[in-house]
Amino acid sequence: MRWHLAMAVLIAQQAAAGHSMAWPNGAHAAIVLTYDDAVSSQLDNAIPALDSAGLKGTFFLSNVRQADVERWKAVAASGHELANHTLNHPCLAGTFEMPPRQQLEHYTPESVLQEVGQQNVLLTALDGRQEHGFAVPCGQTLAGGRDYLEPLRRSKLVTYSRSVDETDDDLQRDPSSLDLMRLPGRGFTSPAGAAQLIEFAEKAAKAGGLAVYVFHGVGGDYLSVTALDHSRFVDWLAAHRQTYWVATMRDVVGWIAERSGRTAVPRNEKPDRAVAPVKAAGGPIVTVESGKLKGVAETGASPIRIFRGIPFAAPPVADLRWREPQPAVPWSGIRQATEFGSRCMQQPLFSDMMFRSAAVSEDCLYLNVWTPAKLDGAPHRKLPVLVYVYGGGFMAGDSSEKRYDGAALAKRGIVVVTMNYRLGVFGFFAHPELTASSPHHASGNYGLLDQVAALAWVKRNIGAFGGDPGHITIGGGAGSPGRLGKAAR
């Protein structure tokens, strides 16, 4: 129908290219650096390079040497992910030289799962975590002629599984469509140099995809890349942080699961352990209706706590585009609330708008809270709340603008909230077919409905930040506060 054509044109003009997955901070691609087999050159060369660049990797451990135990504990304590590669690394005969007892032909799916469970015990002793991911040794899943990956999925022993079969086509896939128990990965060995490593990342960025690197030796051991090429690549990633989100596999899987409404948490584990470390050190933590949030604290004569990028509604994409806002998807563990969420789709119309958010995206329904409350669990007087709505003629604007920063008012005893809402065609497009399909028999004004949803979220949750839900003032520009006040009554 004609309006479907109009929709396609508008989305092509205003929406980001590619699939609907939005990476943190507007990154064009997610990069995961994984390292298999717990070889010494990873401790000697790879980890120092990552630490120097401020990046984190995922290390799939097997055949851990007693002499390296304390070093792997230190790796986990510094923020790298330790994950499961079985106890003895079984592979098919002929893959490399190994004793018969290590050959998959002599295993069963049940014995593989037993090894995975045993390795989990070792990993918990190293990092204190109760859940771990998994990488398939040699990318081979037939144990005694039977596939063990599906039994592993059912066992809930691991939160995800990575293989070694990533193709260029996989880089084009919507990450939300990936099977978390069959995640792709691509192995790199010499003579592959820094240029080839960078090329793989650039292909992922063009498609907005996920690139998972698989390394073994780094400057030594076997299946190795040179330490120099690895270091150059890591430094290149660090220099392009705005383009590439470099994270552990655990964090990327958590992000994908949250965005696609799935879970990467074994059902027999406590969900708060899925994302957060055992010790949630530093930063204030609050609990809202969708889960726990960890913000940042500003010290000084008038200390405040800041929580940025809090989702108050589900991402309005795909089937939720041109729909009233839906409830935010709950998350497990502790969600980092330290960066502004993406601003809503818009053109650069006003030169005085200085945004601190990383990018534009349809996934933009986030709000921010500044509070002077101590959040220490002790009873305190509830504080007045200001909800500020940015102006811009319903065509531009963002809650991250510096002029809307709530720190100054928070230091004077007010809890300040700023929120995003859909703009332009994404916020105010009306059409008879949209009206007919709406349960409210209406279309348009989605941006105003976003504002109402944000205000309702504030009333339900602001008490967690020390605010008084019965003492909320609405302010802002471009007529939004007046319309919001009427709609919220």
| Residue range 122-138: mean pLDDT, rounded | 95
Look up residue 240 and give its DSSP letter. T
d(CA 30, CA 243): 9
Closest alpha carbon to 308 in 46, 92, 25, 18:
25
d(CA 180, CA 484): 41
Backbone dihedral angles phi then psi of residue 399, each to the nearest 5 degrees: -75, -10
In a domain, 371, yes or no: yes
Confidence of residue 268 (pLDDT cuts 50, 70, 90): very low
Q: Are residues 350 and 244 in the same domain?
A: no
**For residues 41 and 319, which has the higher predicted lDDT (pLDDT)?**
41
The answer to whether residues 462 and 415 touch, using CB atoms and an 8 Å cutoff, is: yes
Q: Are residues 443 and 378 in the same domain?
A: yes
d(CA 291, CA 209): 27
Mean pLDDT of the chain: 87
d(CA 190, CA 202): 19
Q: Residue 191: pLDDT above 50?
A: yes
Backbone dihedral angles phi then psi of residue 457, each to the nearest 5 degrees: -60, -45
**Strand partners for 84:** 61, 134
Last residue of a domain, one of 241, 256, 271: 256
Domain count, the chain: 2
Q: Are residues 163 and 286 in the same domain?
A: no
In a domain, 274, yes or no: no
Q: Are residues 299 and 225 in the same domain?
A: no
The answer to whether residues 213 and 186 touch, using CB atoms and an 8 Å cutoff, is: yes
Q: Peptide bond before 469: cis, by omega within 30 degrees of 0? A: no
In a domain, 10, yes or no: no
Q: Are residues 410 and 370 in the same domain?
A: yes
Backbone dihedral angles phi then psi of residue 239, each to the nearest 5 degrees: -80, -10
The answer to whether residues 118 and 87 touch, using CB atoms and an 8 Å cutoff, is: yes
Q: Residue 12: pLDDT above 80?
A: no
Backbone dihedral angles phi then psi of residue 228, each to the nearest 5 degrees: -70, -45
Here the CATH number for the domain that contains residue 135 is 3.20.20.370
Here the CATH number for the domain that contains residue 336 is 3.40.50.1820
Q: Residue 75: pLDDT above 80?
A: yes
d(CA 257, CA 237): 24
pLDDT of amino acid 266: 42
Q: Are residues 109 and 144 in the same domain?
A: yes
The answer to whether residues 306 and 294 touch, using CB atoms and an 8 Å cutoff, is: no
The answer to whether residues 295 and 306 touch, using CB atoms and an 8 Å cutoff, is: yes
Q: Are residues 248 and 390 in the same domain?
A: no
Query: Cβ contacts of residue 452 below 8 Å, gap of 6+?
Result: 484, 487, 488
d(CA 163, CA 179): 11
> Would you tell me how many other CB atoms lie within 10 Å of the CB of residue 52?
12
User: What ranges in 312-374 are assigned the alpha helix state H?
Assistant: none
Last residue of a domain, one of 221, 256, 291: 256
Q: Are residues 364 and 249 in the same domain?
A: no
Last residue of a domain, one of 238, 256, 274: 256
Q: Peptide bond before 191: cis, by omega within 30 degrees of 0? A: yes
Q: Residue 299: pLDDT above 90?
A: no
Structure tokens at 44: 């000697």
Q: What angle do CA 282, 286, 292 make, to 5 degrees?
A: 95
Q: Residue 256: pLDDT above 50?
A: yes
Least confident interval from 48-52, 259-263, 327-331, 406-410: 259-263
Range of the domain at 365: 282-488
Structure tokens at 473: 């003032």
Structure tokens at 447: 């941006």
In a domain, 479, yes or no: yes
pLDDT of amino acid 26: 87
Could you read off the pLDDT of 406-454 as tens digits, one per residue?
Answer: 999 999 999 999 999 999 999 999 999 999 988 888 898 999 999 999 9
pLDDT of amino acid 480: 55
| Residue range 254-273: mean pLDDT, rounded | 56
Confidence of residue 11 (pLDDT cuts 50, 70, 90): very low
Q: Are residues 45 and 188 in the same domain?
A: yes
Could you read off the pLDDT of 152-174 as tens digits, one per residue?
Answer: 999 999 999 999 888 888 888 88
At 356 the three-state DSSP class reads: coil
User: What ranges in 39-108 are assigned the alpha helix state H?
Assistant: 40-41, 47-53, 69-77
Residue 200 parent element (H or E): helix 194-207
Q: Residue 56: pLDDT above 70?
A: yes
Look up residue 358 and give its DSSP letter. S
Structure tokens at 169: 């086509």
Confidence of residue 482 (pLDDT cuts 50, 70, 90): low
In a domain, 401, yes or no: yes
Q: Are residues 168 and 312 in the same domain?
A: no
pLDDT of amino acid 332: 87
The answer to whether residues 133 and 161 touch, using CB atoms and an 8 Å cutoff, is: yes
pLDDT of amino acid 427: 93
| Residue range 280-288: mean pLDDT, rounded | 77
In a domain, 33, yes or no: yes
Q: Are residues 233 and 329 in the same domain?
A: no
- Cα distances from 251 to residues 36, 217, 336, 384, in angstroms, run 18, 24, 11, 36
Q: Are residues 248 and 337 in the same domain?
A: no
Look up residue 413 and give its DSSP letter. T
In a domain, 15, yes or no: no
Least confident interval from 63-72, 149-158, 179-188, 350-359: 350-359
In a domain, 49, yes or no: yes
Q: What pTM does this model have?
A: 0.54
Q: Residue 10: pLDDT above 60?
A: no
Closest alpha carbon to 265 in 156, 427, 162:
156
Q: Residue 197: pLDDT above 90?
A: yes
d(CA 467, CA 370): 10
